[in-house]
Structure formats: C-alpha cells, structure tokens
C-alpha cells in the first residue's frame, strides 16, 4: 500500500486537471486551508460522497499511566472526528471483497 501525500495530490491535480504544478499546489493548499479554518471554528465539513469531519468535545475522565499504573485525570479536550459516507463505505467494502476473492483463487 502506498500513502497518498500532499505532493501526490498535487501531482494528480497537475496531471489530470491540467493546472501547472505551482497552481496545483496552491489550489490544494487553499482547499486544505479552508477545511482547517472551518474546523478551527468548530464547524462541520461535509464532503458529499466522502464523509464528514467534525470537532467533538471529550469530557474529563480518569485514565491510567501505562508505565506506573497510577490513575491520572485526563483533562477535557477537543478531538477531530471523521465519519465516512455510506458511498465511501460501500466502495471500500467492494474493494475489500474483490481483493479477498482474488486471493481465494
């Protein structure tokens, strides 16, 4: 498996959309910047057919230090959550089913 990076996304934009490499990089940075800014404002980002990013508040809780076993208070914090769309889930499962049937042969 290969990890998709910013450079890889920029290259895809360059080759498939026809923008220059610098325009592709600027467009990608602009899109990522808008997503980050929206999440920083604790708003939801929904990308149709892909999924929804949201910021959730986690309350305070008691945890354990794994080295010492001592109980510690974990302070309340904000966490980023992603919920994939049904369409994305179906495509992932379809891909998994296809790969497992190829291995079975």
Question: Hey, which of 18-22, 52-56, 93-97 has the most confident mean pLDDT?
Answer: 52-56
Model-wide pTM > 0.85: no
Q: How confident is the model at residue 82 (pLDDT cuts 50, 70, 90)?
A: very high
Give all strands (DSSP E) within the chain, no chain letters: 45-47, 51-58, 61-64, 71-74, 77-84
Contact (CB, 8 A) for 63 and 72: yes
pLDDT in tens, 12-48: 999 999 899 999 999 999 999 999 999 999 999 999 9
- The confidence band for 52, taking pLDDT boundaries of 50, 70 and 90, is very high
pLDDT given for residue 99 in this prediction: 65
Give me the CATH topology for the region 6-61+71-104. HU Protein; Chain A (4.10.520)
On the question of pLDDT at 66 being above 80, the answer is yes
DSSP reduced 3-state for 72: strand
Does pLDDT of 103 surpass 80? no
CA distances from 36 to 1, 18, 46, 70, 88 (A): 27, 26, 13, 36, 21
Q: Map out the domains of the chain as residue ranges.
A: 6-61+71-104
């Amino acid at each position: 498996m290969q990890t998709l990076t910013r450079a890889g996304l920029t290259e895809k934009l360059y080759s498939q959309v026809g923008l220059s490499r610098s325009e592709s990089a600027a467009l990608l940075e602009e899109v990522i910047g808008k997503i980050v800014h929206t999440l920083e404002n604790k708003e939801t980002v929904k990308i149709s057919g892909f999924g929804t990013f949201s910021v959730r508040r986690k309350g305070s809780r008691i945890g354990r230090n794994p080295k010492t076993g001592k109980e510690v208070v974990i302070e309340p914090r904000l966490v980023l959550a992603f919920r994939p769309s049904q369409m994305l889930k179906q495509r992932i499962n379809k891909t998994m089913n296809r790969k497992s049937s190829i291995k079975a042969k």
